[in-house]
């Protein structure tokens, strides 16, 4: 796993965090706030809203959120544990906290060791006590965030004022409310992602490719890289279906999709354009020979099943066109040229 930090900005250090408050009224406020949480675009935006609530409305002047994002699909990023939205006095120390957590992640899961209640200085062991004294904390606690009953994150809270209200139960209820919103965001994300996936192979469908292509092209331009489109077509696929049956043909398509994913990077786009035709969009270094890149991927498909052959075509974004349609047409012409030369050989 890797650890990343995504900050929400400086804390609003006003007097609100030191005020005593009515737990019932505060819980009602949290529930009301969570209505807007559900409209967050993603978990990062949700955590920033939560951090602002703690700073402005609750007597918690410092904290951060740990969250482990999991991949929905095999060709997505691996799991990453990130620190989100630090606020208050933890901001100057967040690099130290991140470094320690990175080391901890190498041999144990920190999400399994949460206090789930407020602890005072005399209740925490060394070296935590020394750190708290140095950083100005008088109490702290950690509460789990869950998805589907599994711990995927933690709400890490710190207070600098002594003799604060012991509202551990309220913090527990807030963590449950955040977890509920995370469930809603995940369901929404799954629904959105599923609409962009080919159900047979799990790779992108046309909608997914066309929706993701602009971002890949922008990133390639930012990093001064070439973008190449590859089209891959299973030769004589109709005969395969007619001779061996559609279930066998479906299995060939799944194997091709898996092989394409295995032969490109997670950041590249793999999609089923229709029937037995697949597309791959890759960002490559400027000294790369584009035709060789596509040919390497094509050769990686040769072993998916005995007797299965694949033809390929390619196009270079820019010289071959600046729109998807122009790019696709150029790659399609090279694909059929490849098919004709193979038949003639």
Say whether both 173 and 61 belong to one domain.
Answer: yes
pLDDT bin (cut points 50, 70, 90) of residue 74 is very low
Residues linked to residue 231 through DSSP beta bridges, in sequence order: 279, 313
Q: Is residue 71 part of a domain?
A: yes
Annotated catalytic residue, options 198, 233, 258, 276: 276
Instruction: Look up 250 and say whether it is catalytic.
Output: no
Q: Is residue 152 part of a domain?
A: yes
CATH of the domain at 250: 3.30.70.270
Go through 208-238 and write b for each residue having 16 or more CB atoms within 10 A of its CB, e for each that does not: bbeeebeebbeebeeeebbbbbbbbbbbebe
Q: Is residue 121 part of a domain?
A: yes
Say whether both 153 and 261 belong to one domain.
Answer: no
Q: Which residues contact 42 (CB under 8 A, 6 or more apart)?
A: 185, 189
> What percentage of the chain carries pLDDT values higher than 70?
90
Say whether both 211 and 181 belong to one domain.
Answer: no
Say whether both 243 and 157 belong to one domain.
Answer: no
| Structural domains in the chain (count) | 2
pLDDT bin (cut points 50, 70, 90) of residue 273 is very high
CATH of the domain at 76: 3.30.450.40
Token digits of residue 119 = 């602890």
Domain that holds residue 80: 3-194
Say whether both 70 and 218 belong to one domain.
Answer: no
Q: What single string gives the DSSP state of each residue in 44-113?
A: HHHHHHHHHHHHHHSS--EEEEEEEE--SSTTS---EEEEEEEEGGGGGGHHHHHHHHHHHHTTS-GGG-
pLDDT bin (cut points 50, 70, 90) of residue 339 is confident
Residues 276-303 have a mean pLDDT of 92
Q: Which residues contact 243 (CB under 8 A, 6 or more apart)?
A: none
- Position 222 scores a pLDDT of 92
| 198-257 pLDDT, tens digit each | 999 999 999 999 999 999 999 999 999 999 999 999 998 999 999 999 999 999 999 999
Say whether both 34 and 125 belong to one domain.
Answer: yes
Q: Is residue 199 part of a domain?
A: no
Say whether both 221 and 267 belong to one domain.
Answer: yes
The residue out of 142, 166, 194 marking a domain boundary is: 194
Cα–Cα distance between 314 and 321 in angstroms, integer?
12
Higher model confidence: residue 345 or residue 69? Answer: 69
Cα–Cα distance between 163 and 87 in angstroms, integer?
21
| 138-196 pLDDT, tens digit each | 999 999 999 988 999 999 999 998 777 778 999 999 999 999 999 999 898 888 888 99
The residue out of 140, 168, 194 marking a domain boundary is: 194
Q: What single string gives the DSSP state of each residue in 278-296?
A: EEEEEEE-TT--HHHHHHH
Q: Is residue 201 part of a domain?
A: no
């Amino acid at each position: 796993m890797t650890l990343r930090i995504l900050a929400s900005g400086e804390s609003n250090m006003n007097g609100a965090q030191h005020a005593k408050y009515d737990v019932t009224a505060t819980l009602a406020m949290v529930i009301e706030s969570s209505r807007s949480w559900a409209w967050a675009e993603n978990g990062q935006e949700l955590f920033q809203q939560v951090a602002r609530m703690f700073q402005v409305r609750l007597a918690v002047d410092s904290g951060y959120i740990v969250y482990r994002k999991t991949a929905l699909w095999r060709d997505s990023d691996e799991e990453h544990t990130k620190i989100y939205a630090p606020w208050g006095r933890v901001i100057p120390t967040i690099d130290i906290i991140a470094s320690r957590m990175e080391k901890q992640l190498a041999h144990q899961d920190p999400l399994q060791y949460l206090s789930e209640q407020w602890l005072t200085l005399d209740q925490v062991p060394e070296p935590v006590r020394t750190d708290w004294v140095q950083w100005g904390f008088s109490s702290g606690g950690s509460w789990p965030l869950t998805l589907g009953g599994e711990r995927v994150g933690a709400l890490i809270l710190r207070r600098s004022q002594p003799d604060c209200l012991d509202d551990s139960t309220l913090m527990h209820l807030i963590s449950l409310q955040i977890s509920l919103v995370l469930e809603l965001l995940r369901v929404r994300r799954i629904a959105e992602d599923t609409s962009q996936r080919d159900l047979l192979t799990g790779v992108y469908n046309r909608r997914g490719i066309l929706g993701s292509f602009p971002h890949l092209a922008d990133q390639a331009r930012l990093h001064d890289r070439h973008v190449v489109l590859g089209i891959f077509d299973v030769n004589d696929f109709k005969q395969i279906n007619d001779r061996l049956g559609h279930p066998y043909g479906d299995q060939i398509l799944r194997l091709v999709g898996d092989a394409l994913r295995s032969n490109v990077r997670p950041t590249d786009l793999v999609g089923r354009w229709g029937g037995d035709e697949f597309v791959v969009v890759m960002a490559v270094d400027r000294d790369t020979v584009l035709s060789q890149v596509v040919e390497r991927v094509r050769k990686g498909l040769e072993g998916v099943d005995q007797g299965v052959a694949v033809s390929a075509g390619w196009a270079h974004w820019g010289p071959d066109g600046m729109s998807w349609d122009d790019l696709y047409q150029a790659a399609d012409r090279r694909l059929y040229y490849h098919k004709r030369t193979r038949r003639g050989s």
